[in-house]
Each structure stands twice: as C-alpha cells, then as structure tokens.
C-alpha cells in the first residue's frame, strides 16, 4: 500500500501566518498600555463628574480616588480605581452657621442641618472654636465628656453622602461607562489593525 501526501500553501497563507505570529508576540505587550490609557481617561471623567455630583472640592476627590491599580504586561489586564470611606463630615462641604443651624452643600445643593453648630457664644458675635477644627457638631444630651468633665455631649455631624457610593451611581457611573467601554474597543481594534497591517 502506498501513501500519498498532498500539501498546498500559497503566499496568502504564509503572509497571514506571519501576521498572526506578530500579533501573538506584540499584542500582549500593547494591550496593558491601552488598558492603562483608557483607564486614565475614564479616571479623569470620574473625578470631573464626582466633583460636580458630590459638591466636594476637586482636590478632595483626587485624594479620595487615589492611585489606581494598573494593568501589567504578562499579568493583570485591569485598571482598578478604589476609594474608601464613610459619610462625609460637613466640614468638607462649605459649612455656614445660621441661627437655625449649619447649612452645607452635600450633592452640590445647600441644605440646613437644624440644631448644629461649629462656633460658640451668643449671636451675632459667635466665635470659631479652635478645638472643633472646623467640624460641625450637634448636642446629644448630657453626661461625661471625652475630656472627663460633666456637661453636654456632642457628636460630629455627617452628610449622609459617601464617596464610594457616589462613585458607582448617577452621572459619575454614566461618564465612566460612556468613556471606558467604547474607547477601549476603538483602541484595541486600532492596535490589532496596526499590528497585522
């Protein structure tokens, strides 16, 4: 019995084979750079929109978002923004004291927090209390204070707004989704076309 071996190849197959080899070799190095570029663009949008959404100063948002975990060649292919924290204290939301209480601007809208204060003395000559460090307080009863003396107990007042929550809802979430997904697809497609010619 005889064996017949037939081989067929043309220049197109060889050319595409070479292009696929180039893609296989180069693309794993290119992809993390693309992910990081798109991630940086999305981070800019998140910071811009989170500043408007929360009413917090841009510098506060930049510090809260911090440095992301970036994609690496031959490793993780993700760009991760992580923020932590609880409810924002009124000190950071442009507080102003009135007779009725302190007004502040969570979510960029001025609101009254009745019965709160950050100054001492009688109206209209109230003075800033240095040990409060700009924080807004509310009386919660009487008893032993933190310094051991007996008198009214105070608690710091918070806004009900938390950066980690705000980062994943509303216009901030929308801006991230509008930027990250579509831009990543465009950049990846362009890189593949460039590598295979």
| 4 is a domain residue | no
**39 and 55: one domain?**
yes
How much is the pLDDT for 90? 93
The residue among 160, 157, 162 whose CA lies nearest residue 64 is 162
Q: Give the number of domains in the chain.
A: 2
How much is the pLDDT for 157? 93
Does residue 33 carry a pLDDT above 70?
Answer: yes
Provide the domain limits for residue 191.
12-83+167-196
Does residue 68 carry a pLDDT above 60?
Answer: yes
Instruction: Report the distance separating Cα 134 and Cα 98, nearest Å.
Output: 15
**100 and 134: one domain?**
yes
Q: Which residues contact 49 (CB under 8 A, 6 or more apart)?
A: 171, 172, 174, 175
Low-confidence winner among 13-22, 48-57, 154-163, 178-187 (lowest mean pLDDT): 13-22
- DSSP alpha helices (H): ranges in 55-169? 58-65, 163-166
Contact 129, 84 (CB under 8 A): no
**94 and 152: one domain?**
yes
Q: In this predicted model, what pLDDT tens digit does every residue of 77-110 receive, in sequence order?
A: 888 988 888 899 999 999 999 999 999 999 989 9
Q: In this predicted model, what pLDDT tens digit does every residue of 108-124 receive, in sequence order?
A: 899 999 999 999 888 88
**94 and 157: one domain?**
yes
């Amino acid at each position: 019995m005889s064996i017949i071996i037939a081989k067929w190849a043309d220049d197109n197959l060889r050319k595409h084979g070479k292009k696929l080899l180039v893609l296989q070799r180069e693309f794993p190095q290119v992809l993390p750079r693309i992910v990081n570029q798109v991630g940086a663009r999305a981070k800019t949008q998140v910071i811009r929109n989170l500043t408007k959404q929360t009413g917090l100063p841009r510098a506060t948002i930049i510090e809260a978002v911090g440095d992301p975990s970036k994609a690496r060649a031959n490793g993780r292919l993700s760009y991760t923004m992580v923020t932590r924290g609880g409810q924002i204290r009124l000190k950071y939301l442009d507080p102003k004291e009135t007779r009725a209480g302190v007004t502040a601007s969570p979510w960029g809208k001025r609101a009254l927090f009745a019965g709160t204060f950050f100054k001492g003395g009688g109206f209209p000559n109230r003075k800033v209390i240095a040990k409060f460090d700009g924080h807004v307080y509310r009386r919660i009863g009487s008893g032993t204070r933190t310094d051991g003396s007996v008198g009214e107990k105070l608690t710091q007042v918070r806004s009900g707004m938390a950066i980690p929550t705000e980062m994943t809802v509303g216009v901030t979430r929308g801006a991230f989704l509008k930027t990250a997904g579509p831009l990543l697809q465009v950049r990846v497609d362009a890189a593949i076309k460039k590598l295979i010619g």
